Structure 1
Amino acid sequence: MASAGTGPVTGAAREFVVEADGGSRGNPGPAGYGAVVLDAATGEPLVETAEYLGVVTNNVAEYRGLLAGLRAAYALDPSATVHVRMDSKLVVEQMSGRWKIKHPDMKPLAAQAAGVFPPGRVTYEWIPRASNKHADRLANEAMDAGARGEQWSPPAPPARETGAAGAAEADVRAARSAASSGAGAAEAVVPAGERAAGPVAPTRERAAPEAAAAHGGPASGSAPAVPASAAASSGAGTAEAAKSPRPRSAEPAQAPGERVSEVTQGSAGQAGKAAQAPGERVAEADQASGERVAEADQASGERVAEAARAPRAGGVTAAPGSGARAAGKTAAPGWGPPDMGAPATFVLLRHGETPLTPQKRFSGSGGSDPSLSAVGREQAEKVAEGLARRGTIQAVVASPLARTRETAAVVAARLGLEVEIEDGLRETDFGAWEGLTFAEVRERYPDDLNAWLASPDARPTGGGESFAATGARVAAARDKLVAAYAGRTVLLVSHVTPIKTFIRLALGAPPESLFRMELSAASLSAVAYYADGGASLRLFNETSHLR
């Protein structure tokens, strides 16, 4: 268990890490925040603070958590430098000066937070939700206390001591007073080492993306082992309580530089299953499910437990037994650095059903260009509603084909965005196979079909497009869009083959993997692209919004 702190350090300014979070059960609804001040060198929790706020929005609660954390850090050492880590992309981007603050409720809170320390002494970093469990737990404890009509309060501190321990207690008392100044009476601050371990309080409903099993076949998820020091989570165990109405699998705690794979794979279909639609059924997945709603003009970036990335030197590890991640970089081969900035996140939406979809017919860019069916239009409305609740999409880009433009138009209208058309997102041209079922192609063009199944360079009968050509086209579109939307979350409305190709390229999988993914109509998937050139699959074939 962490101690109450070590007291002021003379001769050099201290370095702190502040982790803060806030949430609202309803947005707006009953809300609260939590924040913890950590020693940057050891990761030791020094002070915790939390408050029930009454009925406010997620964003207000997040800003209040930031403000309280900064005040607590200032009370511990006014000359300190502070690194803030939050899973609210909105707050991080606005406080870093990259996004404008337009909402009237945010401006005064941001100004107060900016004034706690002198300019240049506070830096900001976005972290995945799974890496912010400590502050999240405190926020939920505060909301649970408010629901009981109580104040959030820590256990009674031990008897006062003299010497170093007494100095540490004085530090904490000052932090308590500072963090609570200007706040409601329900707020409390406590030295982290004095908290009794206990079960994690039920988490609030909030809109953050969560991994889901692929539909249409057995699913399997994989995650690399996380070092014990990084997997420790203060008083919360290794499994995180659900943060949205539907269940989710437990997530390992991560150091900021670590990424845990949450790739869910569909059934490894037989070659004959290729008809599931190299054009209509061969691609799509999701994970933009459940992220908290951000400000209308600046939706927050997608939050998800990050997927496994290629080994790199450097990283961040937690001090043994500290229950928190240390901010200092240590030798941790195999994990990426924590300071690459926000990735470009592509949320990949397969269009809704057309009349050809349930018949499992090839439907590419060289056929009749069918429109959505009544079922497809209903699916588009449902996905639009789900994405609006999550509040993370900042732009919408669609394939030029009718079914994708129609799906994108429904979503964009709900989100208040325009639709950009990108030709590179169109479906493969299936030549003479357009409109046929797999069995019909097998009967009419057996040799061409066998060659197509055996090689990505083979083209469908009648001058169609090979998967190799589709892959090159999609890769070029990907590079163009990553450059155009760096650090932003973009909805790409496309088709089976292009979406599967995005996923295949992100995973470095062979071309034959295109036949081993099941993607449902109107499903969501997500891939993040980082500044170092790495990519991670964050979501695959999510369809919970359709239920």
Structure 2
Amino acid sequence: MSAGSRGGRRFVVEADGGSRGNPGPAGYGAVVRDAATGEPLAEAAEFIGTATNNVAEYRGLIAGLRAAHALDPDAEVQVRMDSKLVVEQMTGRWKIKHPGMRPLAAEAKTVFPPEQVSYEWIPRERNKHADRLANEAMDAGKRGEQWEPSRSTAALDVGGAAEAAGAAAVEAPVAEPLAAPRAAAVGWAAPADLGTPTTLVLLRHGETALTPQKRFSGSGGTDPGLSPAGRRQAEQVAAVLAARGTIQAVVSSPLRRCHETAELVARRLGLDVRTDEGLRETDFGAWEGLTFAEVRDRYPVDLDAWLASPKAAPTGGGESFAHVSRRVALSRDKLLARYAGRTVLLVTHVTPVKTLVRLALGAPPESLFRMELSAASLSAVAYYGDGNASVRLLNDTSHLR
């Protein structure tokens, strides 16, 4: 059933976003119009800190859709944007390759049922209202203020309402054929300045009583806390990170050994700890608490299968590496969207750290067995605005010596 047949109103949402530096100080703007008259019904704008143009454009889309939903959740909405990237990705014609864009696109799709929303690309000169709102938001951010509707001058754009009202009757200019997005440049072929990356500093938790014995310790076991040695390691990490002064947020696995490590570090840095379920360790099923030799002795066939394929799970309902990879990648995408352009400490486990490194390198699943990762070690991956990632550090334990 179409939105029109359900009796909802018809809106036009015009949205835009900008970044002065890309990434740099960024903001978005959106206006909701009555589709029949072109009258502006609602405006939204916000300074969002450091972000890329694409992130700001997606944030503008989400704000515009939410403003329309607040007016009438049954409305039929036509979105008009001058961002071909956003329009083509939201219609499904282009794949969303950048991990930071996926959660934003997913969020936009939850505001209205898909059948109520359509998308149209328009030239920049036909998107002046939203563009001006975005610039007003960025100007307000530069002054250390937030944009307020009372300061909006975007509605002064002459002819905007008339153009919106007549758009259904006047055929829009035909755009040039849409080219497929270029693949991200890699390595030395990439542009010299990609702006401030989002950096995930990966800290494996400190030792537990099981660590020196090299026993399987995942999500399904006894959830041990830090040993005295593990607490000392966490304090040593906290000291070196405090001296560097680069960490801006701390996110932890929900398991006790990670949360205890994170709390010790965050307290030294003066930060709070946020928990992310996706950062927990693999569930090793019946192997929890056993050594590798004990598993080899008791479950030789299952162990061989596990070593041979990332889709194989440990005995007794454990979790495959393929499954872990999917949930870790989802958490990574959410974190990159939340902390764009910032340096974030993730306190997690062996498998999530190795998985993030593997995905950044584009390495095969078997590479998980070819990395050494000590307790309380630091690794780091930087994620750039063009979709590329760079592994900057792996298994650094210099702070423990």
The answer to whether the aligner puts 1:488 opposite 2:361 as a matched pair is: no
Q: Distance in 2 between matches of 1:376 and 1:311?
A: 41
Distance 1:494-1:447 versus aligned 2 partners, 3 A rule:
same
Q: Distance in 2 between matches of 1:387 and 1:436?
A: 33
Shift of the alpha carbon at 1:338?
3.0
Q: Distance in 1 between matches of 2:255 and 2:222?
A: 10
Deviations 1:152-180 (A, max 9, x none): xxxxxxxxxxxxxxxxxxxxxxxxxxxxx
Q: Distance in 1 between matches of 2:394 and 2:320?
A: 24
The answer to whether the aligner puts 1:449 opposite 2:303 as a matched pair is: yes
Q: Distance in 1 between matches of 2:210 and 2:185?
A: 46
Q: How many residues are paired up?
A: 224
1:418 maps to which residue? 272
* Residue of 508, 524, 536 corresponding to 2:378: 524
Amino acid of the structure 2 residue aligned with 1:511:
P
> What TM-score, normalized to structure 1?
0.40
Shift of the alpha carbon at 1:97?
6.1
> What TM-score, normalized to structure 2?
0.54
* Residue of 354, 357, 374 corresponding to 2:208: 354
Distance 1:505-1:97 versus aligned 2 partners, 3 A rule:
closer
The answer to whether the aligner puts 1:337 opposite 2:191 as a matched pair is: yes
1:430 maps to which residue? 284
The answer to whether the aligner puts 1:473 opposite 2:327 as a matched pair is: yes
Could you tell me whether the CA contact under 8 Å between 2:306 and 2:312 is conserved in 1?
A: yes
Deviations 1:483-519 (A, max 9, x none): 1111000000000000000000000000000000000
Q: Distance in 2 between matches of 1:519 and 1:448?
A: 24
Amino acid of the structure 1 residue aligned with 2:263:
A
Identity of aligned residues (%): 73
Distance 1:380-1:311 versus aligned 2 partners, 3 A rule:
same
Q: Distance in 1 between matches of 2:270 and 2:260?
A: 15
Distance 1:97-1:462 versus aligned 2 partners, 3 A rule:
closer
Unaligned runs of at least 5 residues, structure 2: 1-19, 27-182
* Residue of 185, 196, 211 corresponding to 1:312: 185
Shift of the alpha carbon at 1:423?
0.3
1:387-402 → structure 2 map (5 Å cutoff):
387-402=241-256
Q: Distance in 2 between matches of 1:505 and 1:541?
A: 16
Structure number with the higher helix fraction is: 2
Deviations 1:439-469 (A, max 9, x none): 0000000000000000000000000000000
Shift of the alpha carbon at 1:336?
1.1
1:245-260 → structure 2 map (5 Å cutoff):
none
Q: Distance in 2 between matches of 1:465 and 1:521?
A: 22
Amino acid of the structure 2 residue aligned with 1:480:
K
Q: Distance in 2 between matches of 1:410 and 1:443?
A: 38
1:180-195 → structure 2 map (5 Å cutoff):
none
Q: CA RMSD in A?
A: 1.9
Amino acid of the structure 2 residue aligned with 1:452:
W
Could you tell me whether the CA contact under 8 Å between 1:430 and 1:460 is conserved in 2?
A: yes
Q: Distance in 2 between matches of 1:339 and 1:476?
A: 27
2:178 maps to which residue? none
Could you tell me whether the CA contact under 8 Å between 1:351 and 1:380 is conserved in 2?
A: yes
Could you tell me whether the CA contact under 8 Å between 1:311 and 1:334 is conserved in 2?
A: no
Shift of the alpha carbon at 1:311?
7.5
* Residue of 363, 376, 379 corresponding to 1:509: 363
Could you tell me whether the CA contact under 8 Å between 1:364 and 1:428 is conserved in 2?
A: yes
Q: Distance in 1 between matches of 2:399 and 2:340?
A: 27
2:179 maps to which residue? none
Shift of the alpha carbon at 1:337?
1.4
1:378-393 → structure 2 map (5 Å cutoff):
378-393=232-247
1:498 maps to which residue? 352
Could you tell me whether the CA contact under 8 Å between 2:202 and 2:346 is conserved in 1?
A: yes
What's the secondary structure of 2:189's corresponding residue?
coil
Could you tell me whether the CA contact under 8 Å between 2:184 and 2:387 is conserved in 1?
A: no
Could you tell me whether the CA contact under 8 Å between 1:311 and 1:335 is conserved in 2?
A: no
Shift of the alpha carbon at 1:334?
4.3
